[in-house]
């Protein structure tokens, strides 16, 4: 006899975001969901943005943002302990739905456990199966009920599988630079004054990443590059979850001002990741820089299927922004690339590429779409 299926209203949601970018993106989803259903209760792993929306945090992303094989090995006992601690907390909270946000190494293991324990599981921001670990598509189809992807080419990776997949648009395309007060000359002058930045000197934005390992490897070469461009005033964008102590430098570090820094900077050096797309959509000329451990780089190079590491270049399918990786990530290479993108020709090309990028990511409202998907009724089998 075929079991009958009914459904129940979603009231409690558990969120697992292990990195600052995921924390920022899913916080907007929480905000949208609460507007639709104010009585929702949220709990989980995340950062300051989720906390600001009322999510009860059991672990902070400052402790979970780990990247690279060597780095993961060094924190293996912490990760194992965290996994069991989160499992126990989920069982106590007994959510109606679990939302996994990127962070695939941890979250896909959690999805398998959650599915076996009868929890409804959604995911926001797909693992990069189009780049490597293609076999993960079958695991995702088995353990996840609905997948919300943010890049237009991602649904093709799951074609033919029994999985509900939707391209919801990219969360960074939800808001564009607007004609707000900080864009006016007086607004720019006040912003510079607030952060101790000379009024007339062009700004060089430096984004050495959000993970401690990234900052340790990239900050010295960014400092050296800044010294090679004495006409610019270097400003480091402090990452969410980090403190001033994480940046052993005499350069200016500002927190919570990354978007404004994109707007005010003459150009920037950006660590590969979401920030490259964010900077491009804000119109800031950039060079992408990245260094990791030799082990991590060699393994990634052996298994990666993509030509670029920048999301901008991947989406446009060309090197629209220069990428300087590993041995090429030197002060000389970065300086030469910055001079190139700041030339009249470089700026003209960038403007065209930004328009093309915005056109491709024009499907607005990612957070609202994910929020509506998140609060859909949960099926109950009898």
Quick check: is 135 in a domain?
yes
Same domain, 140 and 65: yes
85 and 19 within one domain: yes
Top-confidence residue, 363 or 109 = 109
The answer to whether position 67 is within a domain reads: yes
Query: Which residues face 57 on adjacent strands?
Result: 44
| pLDDT at position 135 | 84
Q: Evaluate whether residue 86 is within a structural domain.
A: yes
Judge if 189 and 317 occupy the same domain. yes
Residues 157 and 231 placed together within one structural domain of the fold: no
Regarding whether 297 and 248 lie in a shared domain, the answer is yes
Say which range, 103-117, 172-186, 198-212, 287-301, has the weakest mean pLDDT: 172-186
pLDDT of residue 22: 92
List pLDDT tens digits, range 44-69: 999 999 999 999 999 999 888 665 44
The Cα 90–Cα 101 span in angstroms is 16
Q: How many domains does the chain have?
A: 2
Give the per-residue pLDDT at 161: 94
Rounded Cα gap, residues 1 and 7, in angstroms? 19
106, 188: one domain: no
Say yes or no: 271 and 346 in one domain.
yes
Residue 201 lies in a domain: yes
In this predicted structure, the answer to whether residue 332 has a pLDDT above a threshold of 90 is: yes
299 has a pLDDT exceeding 80: no
Q: What was the pLDDT predicted at 298?
A: 62
Residues in CB range of 20: below 8 A, 6 or more apart: 47, 61, 65, 210, 239, 240, 241
Q: Which residue has the higher pLDDT, 110 or 273?
A: 110
The pLDDT, as a whole number, for residue 179 is 40
What does the pLDDT look like over 160-217, one tens digit per residue? 999 999 999 888 887 654 444 445 667 888 999 999 999 889 999 999 988 888 899 9
Tens digit of each residue's pLDDT (9 = 90 or more) over 224-263: 999 999 999 999 999 877 899 999 999 999 999 999 999 9
Average pLDDT, the chain: 88
DSSP class of 365: -
Task: Answer yes or no: are the C-beta atoms of 210 and 240 closer than 8 Å.
Answer: yes
- The stretch 32-38 carries a mean pLDDT of 97
**Pair (46, 146) in one structural domain:** yes
Residue with tokens 């950006």: 270
- My answer on whether 263 and 282 are in the same domain is yes
Q: Any idea what the CATH number is for the domain that residue 50 is in?
A: 3.40.50.2000
- The full DSSP string for 37-95 is -TT-EEEEEE-HHHHHTTPEEEEEGGGT---SHHHHHHTHHHHHHHHHHHHHHHHHH--
| pLDDT per residue as tens digits for the range 76-93 | 777 889 999 999 999 999
175 occurs within a structural domain: no
Q: Identify the three-state secondary structure at position 360.
A: helix
Please check whether residue 46 is in contact with residue 15, taking contact to mean a CB–CB distance below 8 angstroms.
Answer: yes
**Of 74-78, 103-107, 375-379, which gets the smallest average pLDDT?**
74-78
Say if 174 falls within a structural domain.
no
Kindly report the number of other CB atoms within 10 A of residue 39's CB atom: 7
Tell me whether residue 176 is in a domain.
no
| Residue pLDDT, tens place only, 124-139 | 999 888 766 778 999 9
Q: Are residues 293 and 328 in the same domain?
A: yes
* Range(s) of the domain holding residue 163: 5-169+363-381
Q: Do 188 and 336 belong to one domain? A: yes
pLDDT, average across residues 360-372: 86
Model confidence at 300: pLDDT above 60: no
- 131, 267: one domain: no
On whether residue 91 sits in a domain, the answer given is yes
């Amino acid at each position: 006899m075929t079991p009958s299926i009914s459904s129940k209203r979603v009231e409690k949601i558990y969120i697992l975001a292990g990195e600052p970018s995921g924390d920022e993106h899913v916080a907007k989803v929480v905000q949208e969901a609460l507007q639709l259903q104010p009585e929702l209760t949220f709990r989980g792993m995340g950062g300051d943005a989720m906390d600001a929306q009322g999510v009860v945090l059991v672990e902070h992303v400052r402790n979970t943002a780990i990247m690279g094989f060597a780095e993961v090995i060094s924190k293996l006992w912490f990760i194992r302990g965290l996994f069991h601690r989160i499992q126990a907390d989920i069982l106590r909270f007994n959510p109606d739905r679990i939302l996994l946000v990127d962070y695939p190494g941890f979250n896909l293991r959690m999805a398998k456990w959650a599915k076996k324990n009868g929890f409804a599981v959604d995911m926001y921001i797909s693992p990069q199966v189009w780049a490597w670990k293609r076999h993960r598509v079958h695991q995702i189809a088995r353990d996840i009920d609905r997948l919300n992807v943010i890049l237009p080419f991602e649904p093709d990776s799951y074609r033919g599988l029994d999985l509900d997949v939707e391209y919801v648009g990219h969360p960074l395309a939800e808001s564009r630079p607007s004609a707000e007060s900080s864009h006016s000359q007086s607004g720019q002058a006040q912003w510079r004054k607030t952060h101790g930045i000379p009024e007339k000197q062009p700004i060089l934005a430096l984004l050495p990443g959000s993970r401690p390992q990234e900052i340790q490897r990239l900050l010295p070469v960014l400092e050296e590059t800044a010294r090679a461009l004495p006409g610019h005033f270097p400003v480091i964008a402090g990452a969410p979850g980090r403190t001033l102590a994480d940046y052993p430098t005499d350069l200016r570090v500002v927190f919570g001002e990354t978007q404004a820094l994109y707007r005010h900077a003459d150009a920037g050096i950006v660590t590969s990741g979401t920030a490259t797309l964010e900077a491009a959509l804000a119109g800031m000329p950039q060079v992408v820089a990245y260094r990791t451990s030799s082990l991590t780089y060699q393994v990634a190079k052996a298994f990666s299927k993509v030509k670029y590491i920048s999301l901008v270049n991947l989406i446009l399918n060309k090197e629209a922004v220069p990428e300087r990786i590993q041995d090429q990530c030197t002060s000389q290479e970065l300086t030469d690339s910055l001079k190139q993108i700041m030339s009249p020709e470089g700026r003209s090309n960038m403007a065209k590429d930004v328009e093309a990028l915005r056109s491709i990511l024009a499907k607005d409202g990612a957070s609202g779409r994910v929020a509506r998907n998140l609060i859909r009724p949960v099926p109950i089998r009898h």
